[in-house]
Amino acid sequence: MARMRRMEIAADSLYKAKLIRGFCHLYDGQEAVAVGMEAAITKKDAIITAYRDHCIFLGRGGTLLEVFAELMGRQAGCSRGKGGSMHFYKKDSGFYGGHGIVGAQVPLGCGLAFAQKYSKDEAVTFALYGDGAANQGQLFEALNIAALWDLPAILVCENNHYGMGTAEWRAAKSPAYYKRGDYVPGLKVDGMDAFAVKQACKFAKEHALKNGPIILEMDTYRYHGHSMSDPGSTYRTRDEISGVRQERDPIERIRKLILAHDIATEKELKDTEKEIRKEVDEAIAKAKESPMPDPPELFSNIYVKDSGLEVYGPDRKEVRLTLP
């Protein structure tokens, strides 16, 4: 969690220095969800999420270099510098990406769960979405088919209480998102407690493999604004943010437990944080050295090579395209 936190704070600085361009949604405050979930599952299980995806990628085994290179649009990035902040991907570890369209990852996640059931993989898919996306129609359509076919899908609502600049109670008649499934059971989880998240995800996996879909609502919080263009202070007070930091911060919770049970000393924890800062700084330096994608990359991965795409013009005559 400390590595994730430092990575996101560094990304904030890189964005302000204009080394990261475009959209950038930071995860600091929500780290317990990523870490607790990962602790309960294996790489056979799949995760798919929205555009707040950097820390999920890191939790799945991605490297800091791949993160910063992708954020800065460099070839060493996890998507070869072509995806940017919202489109991280690591298929070999079961991470099927960040997605820019609000809520669109949930039907895709149910598709992954269908494939797992069809192939008898004994694995599950975690489809993550925010409280803002919880009102999307496609979410309910996907949940319906998942329940109908008893798919091993776990829908995880990361409720950080603000969809963009809108408080949950302004957008949702029923903000108890874990109850929204009606015909699908749900649990509300303290998303600021990594141990609570781990136990909930372990239970959810066992349930989904036997009985089909389940909803987990993670009660969490984001310290930054919705994205880098949002200061995050116009629709909530600074006292609210500092209050969450003081009372519920996921890293501080673990730190207190570690010290209380004499697992490590204060000095050892500080040394760990120093080492993490060094790792982050080194990864940023290497990412800056990585070149930008070659211009022809703009056209790669669009169509299957030599697909013989058939196109019909306005005169109804067939035109066969030869793709590079």
| Better-predicted residue by pLDDT, 319 or 157 | 157
- Residue-level pLDDT at 181: 83
- Residue-level pLDDT at 59: 97
From 60-64, 292-296, 315-319, the region with the lowest mean pLDDT:
315-319
The token pair that represents 48 in the structure block = 């798919």
- Residue-level pLDDT at 320: 54
Contacts of 146 (CB under 8 A, 6+ apart): 110, 113, 153, 155, 184, 212, 213
Q: What is the pTM of this model?
A: 0.91
- Residue ranges and CATH numbers for the domains of the chain are 2-320 (3.40.50.970)
**pLDDT at residue 316 greater than cutoff 80:** no
CA atoms within 13 A on the CB side of 61: 11
Q: Confidence class of residue 62 from pLDDT cuts 50, 70 and 90?
A: very high
**pLDDT at residue 310 greater than cutoff 90:** no
Q: Give the mean model confidence (pLDDT) for residues 202-217.
A: 98
Q: Give the mean model confidence (pLDDT) for residues 139-156.
A: 97
Beta carbons within 10 angstroms of residue 319's beta carbon: 10
**pLDDT at residue 277 greater than cutoff 70:** yes
Q: Give the mean model confidence (pLDDT) for residues 36-51.
A: 98
Q: Give the mean model confidence (pLDDT) for residues 101-121.
A: 97
- Residue-level pLDDT at 122: 97
User: Residue 167: exposed, middle, or buried by beta-carbon count in 10 A (0-12, 13-18, 19+)?
Assistant: middle
